[in-house]
Amino acid sequence: QVQLVESGGGLVQAGGSLRLSCVASTHSFSMLNMAWFRQAPGKEREFVAVFRGSGNGIDYADSVKGRFTFSRDNAKNTVYLQMNSLKPDDTAVYYCAAGGSGAAYTQYAHWGQGTQVTVSS
């Protein structure tokens, strides 16, 4: 079982930045595919980005490409989502996920509790 704990959400004005963090409790973190999803009220959970383990690449949703950067620190069992040029449409609960490899949330077996990001106009 992998436990995931997110932090870093908050309230920011449009155009601002936030950095989300997610710490994973696992002995094989470097091999683990990690992802971020988000869910706005009344909407389905939406793929944001995936960082595949063993250097197999990063994919972003088109809606965040060029604004969000996904990074990881294997020594700290932590992934980060740097979010720049935030828009009101980015407002959602952001979830860290592990174990899948693509954009479908059903592929992921492990989830954090979520962290709220609110972008005011």
pLDDT tens figures, 10-68: 999 999 999 999 999 988 898 899 999 999 999 999 999 999 987 679 999 999 999 99
- DSSP code for 15: T
Nearest to 88 by CA among 6, 7, 2, 16: 16
Contact 114, 6 (CB under 8 A): yes
| For residues 84-104, average pLDDT | 96
Q: Is residue 26 a contact partner of residue 78, using CB atoms and an 8 Å limit?
A: no
Task: Let me know: does 86 contact 14? Beta carbons within 8 Å.
Answer: yes
